[in-house]
Amino acid sequence: AQRVTQPEKLLSVFKGAPVELKCNYSYSGSPELFWYVQYSRQRLQLLLRHISRESIKGFTADLNKGETSFHLKKPFAQEEDSAMYYCALLGSGNTGKLIFGQGTTLQVKP
């Protein structure tokens, strides 16, 4: 079965603290993984794609095939990072289906 698991519903940190949002997946083969962010009252936005190995807004995510993980990290959280974060997996079979995790709300306190 193809599945994405985000074990934490809520992650609360203080400004300046490191952040790690966990994502584990279940997939046969080479996965295509993404992180999406949804700020309050804004549209769902693509934050990162694993294939591009980029850093956006200070966030990075590394694919670990051995641990089937794609955790999102930032060394120093900012208040404006407070949002809902979804990890997503592109389903197999050329369907275009994105399989989302349940999401983690990140709350950055001043």
Partner 1 sequence: DTEVTQTPKHLVMGMTNKKSLKCEQHMGHRAMYWYKQKAKKPPELMFVYSYEKLSINESVPSRFSPECPNSSLLNLHLHALQPEDSALYLCASSQGPDSYYGYTFGSGTRLTVV
Binding site for partner 1 (CB under 8 A): 32, 34, 36, 42-46, 49, 51, 84, 86, 90, 94-98, 100-103, 105
Q: Residue 16 Cβ, how far from partner 1 at the closest point, in Å?
A: 27
Is the Cβ of residue 15 or residue 100 nearer to partner 1 in the bound state? 100
Is the Cβ of residue 105 or residue 107 nearer to partner 1 in the bound state? 105
Q: Residue 94 Cβ, how far from partner 1 at the closest point, in Å?
A: 5
Q: What is the Cα 39 distance to its own chain's centre?
A: 14
Q: Tokens representing 94?
A: 């050329």
Q: Residue 3 Cβ, how far from partner 1 at the closest point, in Å?
A: 12
Check residue 103 and give left, alpha or beta (phi > 0: left; psi -120 to 50: alpha): left
Place of tokens 């952040």: 19
Q: Tokens representing 3?
A: 């599945």
Is the Cβ of residue 33 or residue 108 nearer to partner 1 in the bound state? 33
Q: Residue 87 Cβ, how far from partner 1 at the closest point, in Å?
A: 9
* Among 108, 91, 89, CA closest to 35: 89
Is the Cβ of residue 19 or residue 33 nearer to partner 1 in the bound state? 33
* Gap between the Cα atoms of 31 and 100, Å rounded: 13
